[in-house]
Amino acid sequence: MSSVKIFSGTVNHALAEKIAKIYGIELGQMVVSRFSDGELQPSYNESVRGSDVFLIQSTSAPSDNLMELLLMIDAAKRASADYITAVIPYFGYARQDRKDKPRVSIASKLVANLLTAAGANRIMTMDLHAGQIQGFFDIPVDHMDVAPIFVPYLKKQNLDKIVFAAPDMGAVARVRSFAEHFNAELVICDKHRKRANEIASMQLIGEVKDKNVILVDDICDTAGTLVKAASLIKEKGAISVRAVCTHAILSGQAFARLRDSELTEIIMTDTLPMSGSLDKIKVLTCAELFAKAIQKIHEHQSISPLFM
């Protein structure tokens, strides 16, 4: 059996080190150089010939970091790696999975084509914004379930009268899976956007009075949706409002919005490095889940036992 080698791009170095440590190997040595015009050149400082290579790189900010990942894949392929898995904890461009207006790109499909053309044999990611993106690939995609990270933590909080809330209609399926683990009800915050990252209106479908409400979403970008939903839920009589969010992009005024919001706690993962800190934010690592998945893939075992 070929040896496992784990490498990190510039985005997820801390996470990659945790994954390698849990797996029981040293993180592979590579450097990413830049030309004076910003052009990237990743290079491996050790042989990958005949190895089962796992490249860990989220693609946010997407323009530079996606290109870096593509070059990492190409370099590994040209260095005769036996099998290349792109581990993309946060998959950028997932919000552009369809034509929602005329004359726009379906960026998710384009990214899938680019990763495959670069030489990736397999993709591993977590909590895609749109699950159907898996179908854009002609290579295997392992879509990791985030519930094994969040559910045990939430159960330890011993909250009663729990209700789970979807911050928009698109999150209903994700929220329902969480609610089933707690035998809890769900409510929906139905929003209407003026444009990207700007909400025009929101209304609540369901009852939250005298309940401990947990909002569930995949991405927290500007935090506008979560904060508006939390405010609406509190206005309707909830005891407390918490949020569970997988990918902490936290751009613009996100930290200030979360700080001043009605949210008691925001629970996130380390699929992306945190650009700041806030007492309300609790970060749970996804390193163990990825390490276990890497082991199972390398040993040609099913990853189904890693799902809840």
Active site residues: 191
Cβ partners under 8 Å of residue 10, min gap 6:
32, 57, 65, 68
CA dihedral 201, 206, 212, 218 (to 10 degrees): -60
Q: How many CA atoms lie within 13 A of 39 on its CB side?
A: 4
Cα–Cα distance for residue pair 163/183, rounded to 1 Å = 9
By C-alpha distance, which of 301, 302, 298 is closest to 52?
Answer: 298
CB count within 10 Å of CB 260 equals: 10
Phi first, then psi: what are they for 194, rounded to 5°?
-75, -45
Q: What is the distance between the alpha carbons of residues 167 and 165, in angstroms, rounded to a whole number?
A: 6
Alpha carbons 190 and 286: distance in angstroms, whole number = 30
At 155, which amino acid appears?
Answer: K
Compute, in degrees rounded to 10, the torsion defined by CA atoms 247, 250, 255, 256: -130
Nearest-angstrom CA–CA distance, 154 and 241: 13
CA angle 232, 234, 240 (to 5 degrees): 140
